[in-house]
Amino acid sequence: MTQSPVVLATTEQSDPRYRQIDRLPTDEIARLMNAADSTVPAAVAAAVPQISAAIDEIAARMRQGGRLLYVGAGTSGRLAVLDASECPPTFGTDPEVVRGIIAGGPAALTRSVEGAEDDAEAGAAAIREQGVGPLDSVVGISASGRAPFVVAAVTEARRLGALTAGLSCNTGVPLSAAADHPIEVIVGPEVVTGSTRLKAGTAQKLVLNMISTISMIKCGRTFGNYMIEVSASNTKLVDRAARIVGEITGADLAVARRTLEAAGHEVKTAVVMITRDLDADEARLLLAAYDDRLDLVLEAREQTA
């Protein structure tokens, strides 16, 4: 009886164009890698309809108090934790609102934890430990789309009523079948066969950028393209916050700095203080009356002007 040939996932296939790279000069290898990387944005663009559909539902739940949880293993898990960890300083979110879960736990951030991605029960348990419910969104991330830890986590999250998405770089994979929103970004074989920290990792980071950033925009955590929730925790960020206040209000930079300091380095508070001629406490009360939405406060000012 003839056996059917094994069909490798595209992320595991070997690209013949790169089989002699160990014999090439550094400059040529770098150019080959750069050319390969340049194909990733087009692959992401092809998946934008699926990405957007997932984001709309994620943002809707977050506006009702839901959380966004990323789940991954290996490189995918590290990217999950990275994107989640950037949300508090960039968008002023509580660290519990956007979280990254990596197979093998925190130790896996800096070293490989053998077998962690194959532990399906640990993936399901990680979701139960987070108390996931119907307002939450869980995004599973796996380049192959087959990591048992990730597939089981998404399956359990869906069973518990959460919104689920599955981000992979192959088609027709278990992760896609497990999720409400399958997102398949097909980047093809890697320059180094099977090293999905390369194109697949780049694609995943681009998609995670979209998911977190657009969700925050939809939740009112930016004003236009300004980071109005930025945590001004160092000199660079204080300078950035002052520029934002000045650009939104039209105030002189010196005035923006003084007001920002009086506002406890809260950008939104400083903007309201200047535009409505209020002190910090009054500005905070006004923001609270408009669900802490700067856009609504400024729209109300325009309507009454």
Where in the sequence numbering do the catalytic residues fall?
A: 86, 117
* Residue count (the chain): 305
Question: H or E element: which one contains 303?
Answer: helix 294-304
Residues 6+ apart with CB under 8 A from 64: 135
3-state secondary structure 143-207: CCCCCHHHHHHHHHHHHCCCEEEEEECCCCCHHHHHCCEEEECCCCCCCCCCCCCCHHHHHHHHH
- Classified as helix, coil or strand, 266 is coil
* Gap between the Cα atoms of 269 and 199, Å rounded: 42
Residue in this structure with the two tokens 């919104």, named with its chain if needed: 163
* Gap between the Cα atoms of 263 and 272, Å rounded: 10
- Determine phi and psi for 230, rounding to 5 degrees: -55, 135
